[in-house]
Amino acid sequence: MKFKSLPYGILICLTLIQGPIFPAQGQGGTLSLPQGLCRIIKGVPRLISSQFGFTEGPCSDRMGNIFFTDQPNNRIWEYDISGKLSLFLEPAGRSNGMAFDRKGNLITCADEQEQLWSISPDRKIRVLVRDYQGKRLNGPNDVWVDPHGGMYLTDPYYQRSYWKRIRPDLPGAYVFYLAPGSSSLRPVATDLVKPNGIMGTSDGAHLYVADIGAGKTYRYRIAADGSLEEKELYVSQGSDGMTMDARGDLYLTGNGVTIYDPSGKKLCQIPIPDPWTSHVCFGGTHDDQLFITATHSLYWLPMRVQGSRQANRYP
């Protein structure tokens, strides 16, 4: 997502705030979400910290710890299952969207030099992709790792203040596929305006891609060779980042978090006070906590449903 660089606040040591975040009239500062908002929601959004420049790319490791980025400040943070917030990596290649692979490596869209990285648990960095046919990528934005180890990434162009270039090298904004063991990208969707959020189903059969430039989210069938087929409109709403729960519901971001069932029916919209909600993922010990990155902040929300196994972490 495009962000504005903001001054970095004083670092403070925070653990999970147990009180709700929104004051509500007549309730002594306790937020009450609209009655009957959504049966799969167990509580209300609660603030973990608002000390960041712009938060993005949350994902969960196999233990349920949450990793997310503060892109303007070039950092990756960890919020562990004990409630401790700590710095994981700095500098971090201006990482944006992230996901874990089966080996526990953190896959990041490092758009400082338009690359895709793999970061091992001991913080060793390996560059998986440097370019596409000798041309610089627009700026990898979000990534999903499929059940076989292949990777799908979106590559929109957002002008960054830390770039020297002022225009893209590629003629369009593509969705790319990186086959297992390969270092060469293959375009699998080239007709989108600005692809951004991306998420696949747990069986690896379908891929959802948000075209934030067109205000739409599409669903594709994934072919055996990784190609995308049978493009269909899922909902007329774009999204920055997204995740999926075990029921197959899709969670889109931007104006809070909007949840749709597999048929595209809107279930509910969760309000978040920050100007922009960038991304969302499931985590926690039982994978039933929703973590939300929004502008300067990280929030969590207890749920009555678990995340999709492929959406955030592997067993």
Q: What percent of the chain has pLDDT over 90?
A: 85
pLDDT: which is higher, 113 or 5: 113
- Give the residue-averaged pLDDT of 145-154: 96
Nearest to 89 by CA among 118, 121, 123: 123
Query: Please, which pLDDT band fits residue 228 given cuts at 50, 70 and 90?
Result: very high
Decide: 145 and 101 in contact? Cβ < 8 Å: yes
For residue 8, pLDDT beyond 80 = no
For residue 5, pLDDT beyond 90 = no
Q: 185-199: per-residue pLDDT in tens?
A: 999 999 999 999 999
30's CB contacts (< 8 A; 6+ apart) are 19, 20, 23, 24
Q: 56-111: per-residue pLDDT in tens?
A: 999 999 999 999 999 999 999 999 999 999 999 999 999 999 999 999 999 999 99
123's CB contacts (< 8 A; 6+ apart) are 88, 89
State the Cα–Cα distance between residues 45 and 296, nearest whole angstrom: 15
State the Cα–Cα distance between residues 45 and 303, nearest whole angstrom: 10
In whole numbers, what is the pLDDT of the chain averaged over residues? Answer: 89
SS3 sequence, the chain?
Answer: CCCCCCCCCCCCCCCCCCCCCCCCCCCCCCCCCCCCCCCCECCCCEEEECCCCCEEEEEECCCCCEEEEEHHHCEEEEECCCCCEEEEECCCCCEEEEEECCCCCEEEEECCCCEEEEECCCCCEEEEECCECCECCCCCCEEEECCCCCEEEEECCCCCCCCCCCCCCCCCCEEEEECCCCCCCEEEECCCCCEEEEEECCCCCEEEEEECCCCEEEEEEECCCCCEEEEEEEECCCCCCEEEECCCCEEEEECEEEEECCCCCEEEEECCCCCCEEEEEEECCCCCEEEEEECCEEEEEEECCCECHHHHCCC
pLDDT of residue 12: 26
Q: 14-43: per-residue pLDDT in tens?
A: 223 333 333 222 222 234 555 556 789 998
State the Cα–Cα distance between residues 174 and 194, nearest whole angstrom: 8
- Give the residue-averaged pLDDT of 230-251: 97
pLDDT of residue 176: 98
Query: Please, which pLDDT band fits residue 128 given cuts at 50, 70 and 90?
Result: very high
- Give the residue-averaged pLDDT of 202-228: 97
pLDDT: which is higher, 23 or 220: 220
Q: 260-274: per-residue pLDDT in tens?
A: 999 999 999 999 999
pLDDT of residue 14: 28
pLDDT of residue 218: 98
Decide: 232 and 218 in contact? Cβ < 8 Å: yes
pLDDT of residue 312: 53
Q: 108-127: per-residue pLDDT in tens?
A: 999 999 999 999 999 999 99
Q: What percent of the chain has pLDDT over 70?
A: 86
Set out the domains of the chain in order of their start, with CATH numbers: 46-312 (2.120.10.30)
Decide: 282 and 311 in contact? Cβ < 8 Å: yes
pLDDT of residue 34: 55
For residue 180, pLDDT beyond 50 = yes
Count of CA atoms in the C-beta half-sphere (13 A) of 113: 10
- Give the residue-averaged pLDDT of 250-256: 97
Query: Please, which pLDDT band fits residue 11 given cuts at 50, 70 and 90?
Result: very low
Ranking 30-34, 236-240, 275-279 by mean pLDDT, the lowest is: 30-34
Model-wide pTM > 0.85 = yes
Nearest to 296 by CA among 77, 137, 44: 77
